[in-house]
Structure 1
Amino acid sequence: MLIRSMEESPSLRRKTVMREKGRRQAVRGPAFMFNDRGTSLTAEEERFLDAAEYGNIPVVRKMLEESRTLNVNCVDYMGQNALQLAVGNEHLEVTELLLKKENLARIGDALLLAISKGYVRIVEAILNHPGFAASKRLTLSPCEQELQDDDFYAYDEDGTRFSPDITPIILAAHCQKYEVVHMLLMKGARIERPHDYFCKCGDCTEKQRHDSFSHSRSRINAYKGLASPAYLSLSSEDPVLTALELSNELAKLANIEKEFKNDYRKLSMQCKDFVVGVLDLCRDSEEVEAILNGDLESAEPLEMHRHKASLSRVKLAIKYEVKKFVAHPNCQQQLLTIWYENLSGLREQTVAIKCLVVLVVALGLPFLAIGYWIAPCSRLGKILRSPFMKFVAHAASFIIFLGLLVFNASDRFEGITTLPNITVTDYPRQIFRVKTTRFTWTEMLIMVWVLGMMWSECKELWLEGPREYILQLWNVLDFGMLSIFIAAFTARFLAFLQATKAQQYVDSYVQESDLSEVTLPPEIQYFTYARDKWLPSDPQIISEGLYAIAVVLSFSRIAYILPANESFGPLQISLGRTVKDIFKFMVLFIMVFLAFMIGMFILYSYYLGAKVNAAFTTVEESFKTLFWSIFGLSEVTSVVLKYDHKFIENIGYVLYGIYNVTMVVVLLNMLIAMINSSYQEIELNLFTQSNSRVFESHSFNSILNQPTRYQVSIH
């Protein structure tokens, strides 16, 4: 039982081992200044400690060489030995003399002290000590080391001067000592990455159970070391990639460990500042390309000619919302260069020339696509492969698609006739529904466009994978829009098949020329009815409803083009941020709304038919009255009763008045203030961030394929 308890309590084991060693300790306590210093030290030891503290090299050397009774591990009234005193006062020669002695104690603490003070030469001398011959000494924390050698990292008899989980390399990283970090890395020291927060391994479970606070602090100390610019730049082959991934991991931990949110957010921002600092140090375009594109040496030979458009680090920075990196002038300049690739001179042209180029591409898009398909490696193919031309071609294609949607509905515009009259049958025995369900040529073109876009979405889904694809909200919108189009056309086709079968029955069995004089079976007669007699589940009605929703989503898709404009891009991102604020506001809004809705309903539910109007007498009427009251469209008489129940009526007036003050005066104005604050917060750098989305999305795909589009705005 004793052995087991010692294993479970490292501090108990450390104290037990110290008692067994019987090392002479100085008398320490709050009143140490009143004690005689010599009561626990011999005259020789006093002289030795003074010489070590003040750097008296001859005395230290003589005593180490000649004295046979000297205890080199003796401590002064503060509990520090000669090595600690020499290191603390930066006496390199004395430290080197002491390190030659065998069985020297507290070498680890001296190393930590030298690292914290930045004494590089002393650190180098200590690391050359035989005690650090094995790199394991440098990777074990003082807490782990004390189980093997209790005083290696000890400051005094009470423990270490630093946190028990601090290793030399973690401390060097915290202190930003580049030379020391380099020396420790060369010795094989590494900062062990903490386990996942939800890790259930035996080690993590035991640490969490024994002391959850110390466990959390040790994780933060490790992440501080990992996020240190000194450690990032010296330990990683790709510091930019490591910093980006670490910043994302720290941002996630900030949302998990709420009590240490500020610490993790600060470290995440430190990693982001590091990658921006690396970008600041670039001296030419080649270095900028190397940072933005990542490791080019491992690229496939066939892909080397396309490396300029990979932008792997930019995509990662956008994904992890590293705004400063994306908005950095060096990054933006390189993105603009790629954007106008193979279009030398167009960047410097006026807006009028650029608009003319856009118009020419839009009008000649079918011919340009055919030319690219026939000769993709020609001069025309290289021009069309430019991200700018991809963007223009895709935008033109989508605008043509929207034009087809408008043209398809133009026959119902007042005073405009673009299609044959589908409300009049072509011959007497023709069933009316056959003509209304038949596809027009514009609808067939729309179907071709929809199928093409759906094929492109499926390719993108295959390349990116379901998880990455779904994470992008624009992809969800596109897939939903196209799915609704397909569902609408499918329902329309089913209605056409049913009407065609009915027409075949009429052609086969009905001889009369006037269908109104014939008694048809109910399932056939149904297809001769006017719209007001159709069933709610009629496929044609369902088709028209789905088609209307798809058209609305299609026109909302114009927002994809907006980020390319300096005026509209920031507004779009601000709108996205505003929507998020509204959703947060809706929680409080719904809580207040439900409270008054239920309260007013309970108050007036007994007066159904006894009020001036039906407001608040049912749950539905309560909802309508309170909702439209927000916009000032409800009347004050909503609370008036026909009976002389003034108490109920007065309570109704008070509650209704409080509701209007709370909702209209307080909450709505608070929402306006939130929206205004959000816009001011994200106004800076919005155009560069949104523009980068467009640059990135049109730099990787064929002109004939729908490119990966602007996905999610950065906030």
Structure 2
Amino acid sequence: MSYKKKRRLNVLAERLRPGLSESERKFLDAAELGDESVVRKVLENDVVSPDCEDTLGRTGLDLAILSGKESLVLYLFGKVSGPKVHQGLLCAVDNNRTELCEILLRHQIYRRRSVETDVYLYMDDTEDAQNNQPPEIVEKDIENQGATKVDKMLKEALMRAAIKNNFQIVQMIMLRAVSLEIPHDYFCSCRQCIDDREGDYMVFCNNRLDTFRALASPAYISLTEEDPIIACFHLSKGFKRLQMIETENQKTYQELDEQCQAFTLGLMDNCRSSDDVKCILSGASTRTTFSDDEDSSKDQTFQLNKGDSFPLLSLAMRMEQKRFVGHVKCQAQVSELWFSGLQMLRYLNRFEYLMLAIPLGILLLPIFSLVYVVAPWSKVTVLLDTPLMRFLSYTCSYLSFLIVICLCKLKFNTIWLSIACDDTSLFAYILIGLVFLWIIGLIWEEVKQIYRAGAEDYLLSIWNLVDSFMLTFLLASFTLDVVLPIRIRQMIHHFQPTMNASGNLLSMTMLPLCYSNDVYNMSTSYQDCQAPATLAMMAEWSPAWVPDPEFLSDVLFSAGIILSVSRISFIMPANETFGTMLVSFQRTFFDLVKLFAMFVLILLAFTCGIAGLYAAHACQTDSFKGFGGTLFLLVWSLLGFGPGEAPDLRHDAPMTSLTNNPSRGTMVVALGYILYGIYVFAALVVLMNLLIAVMSNTFQEIQDERDTEWKFVRTELWLTFIEPGCCVAPPFNVIPTPRDLCALIKTMRKFFRRLFRKCHKPKHRCTKRERSLKKLQEKIELEEKQYTARQNVMCSLVRRYILESEREKIEEGEDAAEDKLRRLIENVANKLDERIDLIEKNLQTVEDNVNNVQKGGMNIQTMQKSEIDLTQTLINTHEGYQTMVKEIWEDGKAFRETKMEAIRAMRDERLKLIEDMKAAEAQALEDSIIDVYDEADFIPRTTIN
């Protein structure tokens, strides 16, 4: 026999293996029905192995767990082998059998002790402890860093329980000192990760996904994390990162991200008072202890900042937890702080009222700011120190700043030139000083923000970058406007150039602009745009590559004023409509950037193709002259300004071809029109419509989540002014107040006292040290008190969440109870029919045996007696099943009669409706009657003989 034929026969023999025997089938059916007596009898006869499996790989213990028979599970618990017990535990975990999991965990395979220390790590069964039965010793696996086999089995069960989100089973397993380990980074280069990745990549990915599913489970987070909310924030941020790395599992990580966010929202839903919400948002959940290496390795960007009013909310803002920030209870606390002290100004939450308040604020807030500068302890400080008034003050100040710099640069532009004159007006100095004071005030605000938030957090905000560039451009522009006239004035005084005035040469000591019109009869306003020839002068400097300072100033001002006016959009989130539009604009702008690469690709492709086609006809075309001309024309065509006759050629100009064939031009024009048309179609029709579709999709997504998106950007705006800061806006914030002077004097006094103090007695130093230690102790006690209060609140929220989750599971089970009952009745009826057939068959067998007994001797009579006893037992069982079926049938019959009575009543009502000519209501009632008929027909048709 050939090897190929032998292998084929072995494969067929494996596929044609016989199924279960009659005894094994009887054993498994009895385990599934929970018939403990049959199971005991079959196993006591030693005809079936307790570890036998059905076609689905389920053992008798698994089927007993599914049936929920606790006594049967206890019996099989000591019969099956260790691996089957672990399989049964996993089955119990998958089916949420909490009591059975507790029984199975008592098996000795889940007991362990360390070989080195010989100390029992866990002892659960008191009877075994009294009998001095030691648990099984499982040696450590050196390759897995000391993890025992028991740990592996318990971690597998813990992972499944966490994925099922069963709080009780997770807690039960974790009490055995087992926890899950966070998977290594996806790009980890350790030996274990490399071996797993190269061994079986699918298994490697599945293990990571299962571990992340367990780590993101609310049950596991609640029982392992000191602060579940912060842990969910970090998990959510990690899942968002993994979505971009493991794109094949993007949907799974997105679901886990939503699960973590839903858990944080569930915890916030269980807050019953404002104190609970404030305690949670305070974020004071860490003790003053030494941090672990794992904690120190975390990204410092996403750590709590204790200087914030709501550190946890600020952390959620940085980690883009929009649903948490937009939660109604978080928004209530932020709104309370925003309108604190001025509840009547809630009307300003409407955008039209805000627009009406700004002109009034431009007139009144400078007066209030001056009062604060003069008397910072007055009642005006209480008004100005509220977040809403700080917002209005900053808004009015910023709008005033824009008005001033626009007037100063566009309307009164000659004041910058008048600096070069000897008799510069006081108005020019005041206006220029005010501009620079305002810019310095804005820069001082940015410096304080960098000092308070840190450079890294400061650069994460796009608005902060806009402010930095805006102030840099404006400061550089106005500095050049001041320095340039002064420098030119110095040069004129030094060199004293000559000027032709009415045929006379005069020695100049200042700019022509500074001379009086009456003396020289020269216009200095240039309103007619005609400068006299005598005023024509030009400044030159070296090196030549240095740009014109005046031109550079104008460029910087243009960039700065564009950013300044665009920065007004920071007040848009104050209104829901404009705030949503601002978010839509930002998101659609990013979509444009994403599609810009496709535009560039098509543009370069057609530019190179068309430029190469018209290379020999560069003199005959005005449109496609080389790469630069072709690129310029195609860019304008993309915007709709390209001429339609661009591919045409002029035949009166020469070609730069070797052949100079006249027929070449016709083919070039034809191909040019084709390429130009394809480009216009691809760029304008396809890509533009694609861009519009993407923008529409993004806009629709934002509209679907407009409440969350708007509240997120509004909270970002509010927190900017809620955090502690200066009460007055620029330029008044750079003016020192009496309070600042007092603080400076106190600081100087302390400095000089320490510098020139004499030696004190040791007793005084000890007393001072004791006072410092006492203050430190009070601070530690206060932090400990805050920590304890927050932990108590967090524990209460977790308990409430667990109770609510269990209640929801029960309600879901009640909804499906009717369907489960129907399936159970049908299953029991089928099993009873099979048992009745089996009993009838056994009765026939008994009758045959009785006939044989009458022909036999005493041994046959003894066998007959045993068979009669067995028959009597079967008959009793049959009667019991018949009685149960009759009861079930009577219940079903009563249910049907109840439904029939309801149908009769509905029919009578339907007849009345027909008599009242209400056909539509009668038809609706007829549909209800049909539905009631369907509900009444669920009774199983079990025949009882």
Question: Would you call these one fold, judging by a TM-score over 0.5?
Answer: yes
**Cα offset, 1:181, TM superposition:** 1.6
Sort the Cα spacing of 1:371 and 1:57 in 2 relative to 1 into closer, same or farther, 3 A: farther
The 5 Å alignment of 1:82-121 reads 83-99=61-77, 104-121=82-99
Counterpart for residue 333 of structure 1? 332
Normalised TM-score (structure 1): 0.77
Q: Find the aligned partners of 1:372 and 1:262 in 2 and give their Cα distance.
A: 56
The 5 Å alignment of 1:446-525 reads 446-492=435-481, 494-496=483-485, 498-506=487-495
Structure 1 range deviating more: 48-57 or 621-630 = 48-57
Sort the Cα spacing of 1:119 and 1:360 in 2 relative to 1 into closer, same or farther, 3 A: same
Whether the 8 Å CA contact 1:279–1:288 is kept in 2: the answer is yes
Deviation per CA, 1:86-109: give whole Å up to 9, x if none: 334323223334546797453322
* Backbone CA RMSD of aligned residues: 4.4
Q: Find the aligned partners of 2:728 and 2:251 in 1 and give their Cα distance.
A: 44
1:690 aligns with 2:689: no
1:623 aligns with 2:631: yes
Q: Find the aligned partners of 1:585 and 1:640 in 2 and give their Cα distance.
A: 31
The 5 Å alignment of 1:13-24 reads none
Counterpart for residue 222 of structure 1? 211
Deviation per CA, 1:299-327: give whole Å up to 9, x if none: 9xxxxxx9997233333333333333333
The 5 Å alignment of 1:3-22 reads none
Counterpart for residue 650 of structure 2? 642
Q: Find the aligned partners of 1:479 and 1:470 in 2 and give their Cα distance.
A: 10
Counterpart for residue 590 of structure 2? 580
Whether the 8 Å CA contact 2:607–2:630 is kept in 1: the answer is yes
Normalised TM-score (structure 2): 0.59
Counterpart for residue 162 of structure 2? 173
Counterpart for residue 408 of structure 2? 408
Q: Find the aligned partners of 2:468 and 2:715 in 1 and give their Cα distance.
A: 23
Whether the 8 Å CA contact 1:118–1:177 is kept in 2: the answer is yes
**Cα offset, 1:121, TM superposition:** 0.5
1:259 aligns with 2:282: no
Secondary structure, aligned partner of 2:187: coil
**Cα offset, 1:243, TM superposition:** 1.2
Whether the 8 Å CA contact 1:112–1:168 is kept in 2: the answer is yes
Sort the Cα spacing of 1:402 and 1:325 in 2 relative to 1 into closer, same or farther, 3 A: same
Counterpart for residue 608 of structure 1? 618
**Cα offset, 1:363, TM superposition:** 2.7
Whether the 8 Å CA contact 2:338–2:388 is kept in 1: the answer is yes
Deviation per CA, 1:330-377: give whole Å up to 9, x if none: 333332222101113322579687666554543333443455567767
Deviation per CA, 1:166-195: give whole Å up to 9, x if none: 711111111121221222233333221111
Sort the Cα spacing of 1:53 and 1:617 in 2 relative to 1 into closer, same or farther, 3 A: closer
**Cα offset, 1:601, TM superposition:** 1.7
1:126 aligns with 2:104: yes
**Cα offset, 1:288, TM superposition:** 3.1
Whether the 8 Å CA contact 1:73–1:104 is kept in 2: the answer is no
Sort the Cα spacing of 1:95 and 1:551 in 2 relative to 1 into closer, same or farther, 3 A: same
What are the ranges of 5 or more consecutive residues in structure 1 without an aligned counterpart?
A: 1-27, 154-164, 300-305, 413-417, 521-527, 708-715
> Of Structure 1 and Structure 2, which has the larger fraction of its residues in helix?
2
Q: Find the aligned partners of 2:599 and 2:563 in 1 and give their Cα distance.
A: 27
Counterpart residue identity of residue 599, structure 1? G
Counterpart for residue 317 of structure 2? 318
Counterpart for residue 803 of structure 2? none
Counterpart residue identity of residue 91, structure 2? L
Identity over aligned residues, as a percent?
27
**Cα offset, 1:515, TM superposition:** 11
Q: Find the aligned partners of 1:183 and 1:150 in 2 and give their Cα distance.
A: 15
Counterpart residue identity of residue 322, structure 2? K
Whether the 8 Å CA contact 2:417–2:485 is kept in 1: the answer is no
Q: Find the aligned partners of 1:380 and 1:33 in 2 and give their Cα distance.
A: 95
**Cα offset, 1:256, TM superposition:** 0.6
Structure 1 range deviating more: 350-359 or 472-481 = 350-359
Secondary structure, aligned partner of 1:551: helix
The structure 1 residue matched to 2:555, chosen from 541, 545, 552, is 545
Counterpart for residue 700 of structure 1? 723
The 5 Å alignment of 1:332-351 reads 332-347=331-346
The 5 Å alignment of 1:652-663 reads 652-663=672-683
Q: Find the aligned partners of 1:135 and 1:193 in 2 and give their Cα distance.
A: 25
Counterpart for residue 234 of structure 1? 223
Structure 1 range deviating more: 366-375 or 451-460 = 366-375
Whether the 8 Å CA contact 1:456–1:705 is kept in 2: the answer is no
Counterpart residue identity of residue 198, structure 1? F
Counterpart for residue 667 of structure 1? 687
Aligned length: 633
**Cα offset, 1:537, TM superposition:** 1.7
**Cα offset, 1:407, TM superposition:** 1.6
Whether the 8 Å CA contact 2:261–2:321 is kept in 1: the answer is yes
The structure 1 residue matched to 2:52, chosen from 75, 82, 96, is 75
Counterpart for residue 388 of structure 2? 388
**Cα offset, 1:479, TM superposition:** 1.2
Sort the Cα spacing of 1:192 and 1:541 in 2 relative to 1 into closer, same or farther, 3 A: same
Secondary structure, aligned partner of 2:576: coil
Structure 1 range deviating more: 565-574 or 110-119 = 565-574
1:530 aligns with 2:537: yes
Q: Find the aligned partners of 2:675 and 2:382 in 1 and give their Cα distance.
A: 70
Counterpart residue identity of residue 470, structure 2? M
Structure 1 range deviating more: 240-249 or 630-639 = 630-639
Whether the 8 Å CA contact 2:473–2:557 is kept in 1: the answer is yes
User: Which structure's CA Rg is the greater one?
Assistant: 2
The 5 Å alignment of 1:672-683 reads 672-683=692-703
Whether the 8 Å CA contact 2:339–2:388 is kept in 1: the answer is yes
What are the ranges of 5 or more consecutive residues in structure 2 without an aligned counterpart?
A: 1-12, 115-120, 123-137, 289-304, 510-534, 652-661, 731-945
Secondary structure, aligned partner of 1:198: coil
Structure 1 range deviating more: 262-271 or 121-130 = 121-130
Whether the 8 Å CA contact 1:308–1:338 is kept in 2: the answer is no
Whether the 8 Å CA contact 1:37–1:77 is kept in 2: the answer is no
Q: Find the aligned partners of 2:240 and 2:113 in 1 and give their Cα distance.
A: 32
Q: Find the aligned partners of 1:533 and 1:500 in 2 and give their Cα distance.
A: 15
Structure 1 range deviating more: 367-376 or 106-115 = 367-376
Counterpart residue identity of residue 719, structure 2? E
Q: Find the aligned partners of 2:162 and 2:375 in 1 and give their Cα distance.
A: 56
The structure 2 residue matched to 1:562, chosen from 568, 572, 593, is 572
1:213 aligns with 2:221: no
**Cα offset, 1:220, TM superposition:** 0.7
